[in-house]
């Protein structure tokens, strides 16, 4: 099939082969040049489980993913609902909302790193102005402050696309359904809950799945703000993987982290799909 050849070649070479190679590396002792000094079975994996930093990173990644995706949906859904009404300035609002999305994650992360500066940063300045803090705060030196801040940044960059997907979903619902409910005298929030939400469920479900995959694997925010530090206290699995592979040159270990990350997402995707399908079947 000549028509499939270019796509097939790219996918086989640059997606399928690296996946297989990763699997192979995860069960071998591999140096930084990718040369194996022998099959080691599952010892790369058992090494990981024995590492307290890995376990902490794993736990942190779960918190990170749940918090970011949860908060994003909680904020985006009402926002999409409101943006659906006609009001002066709606077009401008929608366009401005594209800004955090258009900027690349590195740039927004750098912007927030600057805003978190203890002396000249806008975060401290704003909170001081509101009277919420009255002393110098080292936002990035303390994981109890930096991690929630990074969660907010991830939510902040995720809101635009999520809101726009949900908005498209809301507008895709047959307007007559809304009308009927409105004529029945239902309040706006009721209509959102009992008419729009059930119809939005499939869109929401897949949006959440994609978002979970994306956030679980997100790298730039944490890398730019703290590099997972201080002392690994804000590492997620991706930054842990990156350090293992490119700072400690333990390619086998890094490959094992990749395999585990893939398996975790796979299990999540299967459970998620099962649950959603059960709901649809009901």
Partner 1 sequence: MSLDLVRPHKKRHWLMVSGGLLLLLSLMLFPFWEMLATALKSRGDMVEYPSRWMPEQPVWRNFIEVWSYVPLARYFANSAIVALGATLLNAIAAIPAAFALARLSFPGRRVFLYFVVATQMFSPVVLLIAFFQMMVGFGLINSYWSLILINASVSLPFSIWLLTAYFSAAPKEIEEAAILDGAGRWRMLFTQFMPLAWPGIATAMTFTFILAWNEFLFALTLINNSDMRPLTTGIYAFVGRNEIMWNYLMTASILAIIPVFVVFLIIQRRLVAGLASGAVK
Query: Which of the residues 50 through 89 are near partner 1 (CB under 8 A)?
Result: 75, 78-79, 82, 84-87
Site track 15-44 with partner 1 (rule: CB under 8 A), x = hit: xxxxx-xx--x-------xx----------
Q: Is the peptide bond before 23 cis (omega within 30 degrees of 0)?
A: no
Ramachandran angles phi, psi of 130, nearest 5°: -80, 0
Beta bridge partners of 28: 39
Length of the chain counted residue by residue = 282
Residue choice 52, 132, 175, 282 for contact with partner 1 (CB under 8 A): 175
Distances (CA, A) of 25 to 12, 49, 51, 72, 198: 18, 17, 19, 36, 45
Query: Which one of 36-44, 54-62, 122-130, 140-148 is the stretch in contact with partner 1 (CB under 8 A)?
Result: 122-130
Nearer to partner 1, 66 or 122 (CB): 122
Residue choice 266, 271, 275, 280 for contact with partner 1 (CB under 8 A): 266
Window 233-252: residues binding partner 1 (CB under 8 A):
238, 241-242, 245-246, 251
115 touches partner 1 (CB under 8 A): yes
Distances (CA, A) of 238 to 40, 163, 217, 259, 282: 23, 26, 6, 12, 38
Nearer to partner 1, 11 or 275 (CB): 11
228 touches partner 1 (CB under 8 A): no
**Dmax (CA) of the chain:** 74
Residue choice 41, 120, 278, 282 for contact with partner 1 (CB under 8 A): 120
| Closest CB 226 distance from partner 1, rounded Å | 12
Residue choice 133, 202, 274, 277 for contact with partner 1 (CB under 8 A): 202
Ramachandran angles phi, psi of 252, nearest 5°: -65, -45
Query: Which one of 60-68, 123-131, 143-151, 274-282 is the stretch in contact with partner 1 (CB under 8 A)?
Result: 123-131
Q: How many whole angstroms separate alpha carbon 264 and alpha carbon 57?
A: 14
H or E stretch including 266? helix 251-281
Ramachandran angles phi, psi of 29, nearest 5°: -90, 105
Q: Is the peptide bond before 230 cis (omega within 30 degrees of 0)?
A: yes
Q: What is the DSSP letter of 132?
A: S
| Closest CB 56 distance from partner 1, rounded Å | 19
200 touches partner 1 (CB under 8 A): no
Residue choice 105, 149, 150, 151 for contact with partner 1 (CB under 8 A): 105
> Are 272 and 202 spatial neighbours (Cβ–Cβ below 8 Å)?
no
99 touches partner 1 (CB under 8 A): yes
> Are 240 and 57 spatial neighbours (Cβ–Cβ below 8 Å)?
yes
Residue choice 111, 137, 199, 276 for contact with partner 1 (CB under 8 A): 111
Q: How many whole angstroms separate alpha carbon 31 and alpha carbon 38?
A: 11
197 touches partner 1 (CB under 8 A): no
Residue choice 164, 232, 235, 243 for contact with partner 1 (CB under 8 A): 164
> Are 109 and 225 spatial neighbours (Cβ–Cβ below 8 Å)?
yes
How many residues bind partner 1 (CB under 8 A)? The answer is 107
Query: Which one of 51-59, 63-71, 138-146, 154-162 is the stretch in contact with partner 1 (CB under 8 A)?
Result: 154-162
Q: Which residue has the tokens 């299990």?
A: 267
């Amino acid at each position: 099939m000549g028509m499939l050849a270019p796509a097939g070649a790219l996918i086989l070479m640059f997606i399928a082969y690296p996946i297989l190679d990763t699997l192979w590396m995860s069960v071998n002792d591999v140096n930084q040049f990718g040369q194996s000094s022998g099959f080691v079975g599952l010892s790369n994996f058992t090494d990981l489980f024995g590492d307290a930093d890995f376990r902490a990173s794993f736990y942190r990644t779960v918190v990170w993913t749940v918090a970011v995706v949860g908060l994003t949906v909680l904020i985006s859904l009402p926002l999409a609902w409101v943006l659906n009404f006609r009001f002066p300035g709606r077009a401008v609002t929608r366009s401005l909302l594209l800004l955090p999305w258009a900027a690349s994650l590195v740039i927004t992360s750098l912007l927030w790193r600057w805003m978190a500066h203890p002396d000249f940063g806008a975060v401290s300045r704003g909170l001081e102005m509101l009277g919420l803090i009255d002393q110098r705060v080292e936002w990035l030196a303390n994981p109890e402050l930096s991690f929630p801040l990074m969660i907010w940044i991830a939510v902040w960059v995720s809101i635009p696309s999520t809101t726009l997907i949900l908005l498209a979903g809301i507008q895709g619902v047959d307007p007559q359904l809304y009308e009927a409910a409105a004529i029945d005298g239902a309040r706006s929030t009721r209509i959102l809950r009992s008419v729009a939400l059930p119809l939005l469920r499939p869109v929401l479900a897949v949006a959440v799945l994609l978002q979970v995959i994306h956030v679980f694997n997100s790298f730039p925010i944490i890398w730019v703000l703290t590099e997972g530090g201080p002392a690994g206290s804000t590492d997620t699995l991706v930054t842990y993987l990156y350090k293992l592979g490119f700072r400690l040159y333990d390619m086998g270990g890094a490959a094992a982290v990749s395999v585990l990350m893939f398996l975790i997402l796979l299990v999540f995707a299967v459970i998620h799909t099962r649950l959603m399908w059960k709901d649809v079947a009901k």
